[in-house]
Structure 1
């Protein structure tokens, strides 16, 4: 039996999210792909926080914390952006500048599959680190399987408190439906 198409009776349309859209969600949930799709459709600059947090041409080596904060703070001061990534140490500043909020909440199994797929098959994925190569890492598998469920609850609580125009995409079907309704392209 085919699954029902999710309905979003109270979901704002993409334009209602304004010119500065913040996307949060578990690792490997599709944040970067969605950010790129929205940026292309709306003509907004896209900012992948993973690229600000990590040193280019490294194996995902973090920048010094102060350097990341400076890059982050400069990025959020722009008049327009779609920004994906969690990085809770800078989340309060980001949300204070955001005009819209999207929370992705795909299941852990989906995040694990997406991580393996991207490390094994996707060489030019959205949000990749310049000069970096994705490889399967035990630390990342642990993060997705163990740490992410706690973060998922925190993000859900945050979503309830945020007063911005917002959208919660709680399943893969919700995410796919959003792409269809908003006529977004993953490519």
Structure 2
């Protein structure tokens, strides 16, 4: 895995291949897929990512493929981390508060798209915690800041939003993972029951 993969490394790669999507939106989409229980092979992930960026017609070089796979592995590992070290991939503090806030909105848009692609529908049976988290993430996807406001207040607001997104995503991932696991167990038991029927 690429150990130096961050927002700006991935952003440069995406610009070079002609993507109009940012690393934030791409990782958000990936998180949505993983939250929805859609594990992918390397080939499937490359295909999904390129389709998402409307770049299915291009061929990635070895380094570009490696970066995409590193993004998948890093994101999947962080979502599973028992120390809750997951953080959305966003620009660092050297970027303006406006840029960082915009990218957070893109990240949430990507997440919601990925959840839809994973098969999660608006009619799905969700716990109140997950439903509330998804509603809040939809609101955050439209977030903006007023540059005329106090910079310290904007920075504090930004930190609160990022922390909330982190907690909300981990809540969604954990609860949907448990739901998917229970559903799979139920399907397995049902199949076993059918196999045990005496004709």
TM-score normalised by the shorter chain: which range applies?
Answer: under 0.3
Q: Normalised by the size of structure 2, how large is the TM-score?
A: 0.26
Query: TM-score if structure 1 supplies the norm length?
Result: 0.27
- Higher helix proportion (structure 1 or 2): 2
Ranked by relative contact order (alpha carbons within 8 Å, sequence separation 6 or more), the top structure is 1
Task: Kindly indicate which of the two structures has a greater share of residues assigned to strand.
Answer: 1
